[in-house]
Structure 1
């Protein structure tokens, strides 16, 4: 039986010592200055928030210790893989940073009346990072899109009487490295009409949403990989922070591998083996650059997952969302078994299969609108 430890001076000091030990292990290899800042801040913050005897009287000490260890698991992964110091040391992080910066230009150009000459430091910084990427990794759509955005920015300002000669030289230098003269039309803005958007959006979305259920009875018919590829391609239109697109999908349709992956998820017993494919959605932490973005992977990955589920539904496939609310040892085990890197956060699994001719689903009634919508 676990013993509850009151929040006395000794227990508070004991907890502080243990926290410091964890943090010391986490920040090995980090500069002493940053080490001191991180350790001091988190220890002070955590201990200060243990008010009175309440927390340790209500939560078993070992449960609190387990919670903290799992918190540190997430803390360490974000600290290790997110680019908090903007040291863009690999292709993925540099690519994500360039995407973030060119999107800052794109979205300002999409304002009704952009300010002439807005944020020249963004354009100059983007040009510099684009040249670095080109020199290190060569030309790809990231460079082409960035160059298009720089051209759109320069052209907008030129049309309004501002000619940034230095930026023009930078753009020409990049384009000479790409061996191109014209743009690829990948970056910048699009001119749309309300009518054109409404025309393509003319579907009965209410019926579409209400016809989607969590399916726990699939037909034995195999799922064509091309259908799954189409669904993932459709889901790529999902919004993400500064268009960085951190989401990835791992497909398991081999029977042995599918069942191996499913054994780490505790909500599929009794039906998971009937699914013909399992998708694992992840978010790559190397796409994030600030402490404020520490939860962004879950936000972007969750939105992507919902888009993917609806895409699969539109293609006639049944799905069941399988949560990934696990502790660190299970997270590590699945990553090892599935070949998923540590810098990826697993968002969820999705069981996929064809619908049988007849089947049952849970009614899953919803809350009233008044419980969800609050008008202020």
Structure 2
């Protein structure tokens, strides 16, 4: 019998549990200290030096913010001064550090500016002065292109908006996985028709094949159809401003009580993330429009959401998913994707 087992036979069970809790607390603190150090050292926070990947991540963030504004059904001409200011700064730093201007992210940044200019030109709205001054080359390139070139750019561009049509989604259930997955887009505005909750529940059932650590299946789904709760929850979440409330809002969480050791501390996010993607794909298969929303909130916001929706403290919040029927036609961010070779490494 080992030393640990001998001690366990001598020490009262209640004391042993307390000792194990103290050990787990110290171990977990050490793990989190390492994670905190790594994140603070390498993330794209303003305190870090502008490595290429940090600048790429920042550019993509502001590209997407601008794309969302461009896709809005109630388009607000002249929007985006703050986002364009930040995008300009990071593009300037990219060039100052002599990073390649033929990089796909840098090209996308230029393209989203052009998409912004084209939209204003098409609506006969004036180009804001800040865009004209900060991005004179992009404005000039749009002004000299022909109608044919503009239409081609709208199709071939890797930033801006694209059109999503309900008619193209009706036969989703007959598509193979590759086509279904490739055709999915996040949609934030929906048809004014009620959502069949039976179809949403079917999507949840389809998602139960999601793999989880040792088959724990700790993911949980809260389906909300009460407009009052939806509006209040999204107001606290903070990422839905300017849009009408969706007909249905799902909250994905993971029950921490299913995990047995501190080494599984990150597993709720892994299993929950896998389930969220399976759920989004299942909704797409059922021809329902959806958009995932993060739950990265400050402590007060999270507390208020838990209180509002009755989410227990032992569940880790993973994501909201807004759900509705596809409108006849709606614009959505292009949300360009890197080629797989960019993110793949091989060790032979």
Q: RMSD in angstroms over aligned alpha carbons?
A: 3.2
| Counterpart among 216, 235, 238 of residue 188 in structure 2 | 216
Task: Say if 1:324 and 1:347, in contact at 8 Å, map to a contact too.
Answer: yes
* Structure label with greater radius of gyration: 1
Post-superposition offset of 1:328: 2.2
Partner Cα separation in structure 2 for residue 318 and residue 350 of structure 1: 10
- 2:345 maps to which residue? 374
Equivalent residue runs for 1:198-347 within 5 Å? 203-271=175-243, 273-347=244-318
Q: TM-score, normalised by structure 2?
A: 0.52
Partner Cα separation in structure 1 for residue 318 and residue 203 of structure 2: 17
Equivalent residue runs for 1:148-187 within 5 Å? none
Post-superposition offset of 1:211: 1.2
Partner Cα separation in structure 1 for residue 248 and residue 34 of structure 2: 48
Task: Say if 2:24 and 2:262, in contact at 8 Å, map to a contact too.
Answer: no
Post-superposition offset of 1:204: 2.9
Post-superposition offset of 1:284: 0.3
Partner Cα separation in structure 2 for residue 282 and residue 367 of structure 1: 29
Task: Say if 1:280 and 1:350, in contact at 8 Å, map to a contact too.
Answer: yes
Partner Cα separation in structure 2 for residue 42 and residue 297 of structure 1: 15
Partner Cα separation in structure 2 for residue 49 and residue 349 of structure 1: 25
Equivalent residue runs for 1:112-127 within 5 Å? none
Residue segments in structure 1 that go unaligned for 5+ positions in a row: 1-28, 61-200
Q: Taking structure 1 as reference, are residues 302 and 33 closer, same or farther at Cα in structure 2, changes over 3 Å only?
A: same
Task: Say if 2:249 and 2:321, in contact at 8 Å, map to a contact too.
Answer: yes
Partner Cα separation in structure 1 for residue 275 and residue 185 of structure 2: 18
Larger CA deviation: 42-51 vs 317-326: 42-51
Partner Cα separation in structure 1 for residue 199 and residue 267 of structure 2: 29
Task: Say if 1:218 and 1:355, in contact at 8 Å, map to a contact too.
Answer: yes
Equivalent residue runs for 1:29-48 within 5 Å? 33-34=19-20, 37=23
Partner Cα separation in structure 1 for residue 224 and residue 286 of structure 2: 19
| Counterpart among 331, 335, 341 of residue 364 in structure 1 | 335
Q: Taking structure 1 as reference, are residues 275 and 43 closer, same or farther at Cα in structure 2, changes over 3 Å only?
A: closer
Q: Taking structure 1 as reference, are residues 32 and 240 closer, same or farther at Cα in structure 2, changes over 3 Å only?
A: closer
Task: Say how many residue pairs are matched.
Answer: 203
Q: Taking structure 1 as reference, are residues 316 and 343 closer, same or farther at Cα in structure 2, changes over 3 Å only?
A: same
Post-superposition offset of 1:30: 10
Q: Which has the higher contact order (CA 8 A, sep 6+)?
A: 2
Task: Say if 2:231 and 2:245, in contact at 8 Å, map to a contact too.
Answer: no
